[in-house]
Amino acid sequence: MFRRRKKKFIKIVAPIILSMIAGFAVVYFALRPPPVEIRDFTVIDSHQISQIIIRQDMALTYLLKTDNGWVLNNVDSYPVDADLVNQLLRNLETSVNLGIKAWGEKKIVESGLLPDRAGILRLQLRNSNNQIMHDWLIGETVGDGQYLARAEKSDQIIHWQMATKPSADARHWLSDLWMGLDKADFQSITVAAGEVGVIQLQRQNLTEQAWKIVNLPENQHLRADSPIVRLPNLWSGQIFTTARPIASLSINNSERHRHEFFSTDGVTITIIQAKNADGIWYHFMAASANLAKQQWVDQFNAKHSAWAYQMPAGFVQLLAARMENIVDSVPASAQ
């Protein structure tokens, strides 16, 4: 009697237990992360990449590979140093996926790895047919050279290790724009060379950015509101606001001005200023009688000879100065 009841109990309970086990298994396998990723999305082939788009907050860098090299497609197709781009691609090729750390929509929201979140960097790599090869979202630092990251269409969050995080700031890609001119020491400056309102500045000493107007008219003194004698290096920390191939600008018949900057190592930078309907443009040329600087001069001219630039306000303000606008007459009682 007892054995019959036991067998009946087993027949009833066993299927229930098996169903529960099966249910737990389904839930477990549904929720656990995959033991390995089906496709390691951090593996790239740089030879296939023709476009690199990097966004972070308001910053955007759009690098495009052309027949003549890499350019900033969103900054007037201005050429960038190919070494910087190749370094980025090498960093990505040698980056390491340290494994899945979380998964699921809830964890993605908690991590902030969403395209519209502040501080999240989005990196897209495309081929020559504009096909997206890789689309990554990169978030906070979680270790030395390690970042939270995920593929845009994936719910798996990984720790991604790379040598350097990509930069969306255009200034990074133009870091060698002035080829060291932004760190140069200048000993004299001529603003509006050859004009009636010419200003000739001489540096007082090489330890300070303090300048003297050497052609100050008799019975004139510098106005108190003129900042022209406290000049920093005009190129320091600056990039252009707009660049255009000089051949594309209609400036042939426009009024022109010439400004000259003389460095302590014998280089002369001549700036030609012209204006058209789009604003004021500047063209840069270098020259030197110092044979040791000739290679630098040639490289600088090769980089800038085909381009005209619009520059930030501080740059424009200095070169717009004329003698009559920065001096006042000395009162008769003080003469």
Global confidence as pTM: 0.75
Question: Which pLDDT tens digit goes with each residue over 269-304?
Answer: 999 999 888 889 999 999 999 999 999 999 999 999
Closest CA relative to residue 99, chosen from 145, 146, 30: 146
Q: Which two tokens stand for residue 284?
A: 């840069």
Distance from C-alpha of 288 to C-alpha of 202, rounded to nearest angstrom: 19
Question: Which pLDDT tens digit goes with each residue over 155-186?
Answer: 899 999 998 899 999 888 988 899 999 888 89
202 C-beta neighbours (distance < 10 Å), count: 13
Three state DSSP letters for 265-328: CCEEEEEEEEEECCEEEEEEEEEECCHHHHHHHHHHHHHHCCEEEECCHHHHHHHHCCHHHHEE
Q: In this structure, which long-range contacts are made by residues 112-121, counting pairs with CB atoms below 8 Å and at least 24 apart in sequence?
A: 112/139, 112/140, 113/137, 113/139, 113/148, 113/149, 113/150, 113/157, 115/152, 118/57, 119/56, 119/57, 120/56, 121/54, 121/55, 121/56, 121/165, 121/166, 121/168
Residue with tokens 């990074």: 172
Question: Which pLDDT tens digit goes with each residue over 101-134?
Answer: 888 888 889 888 998 899 999 999 999 999 999 9
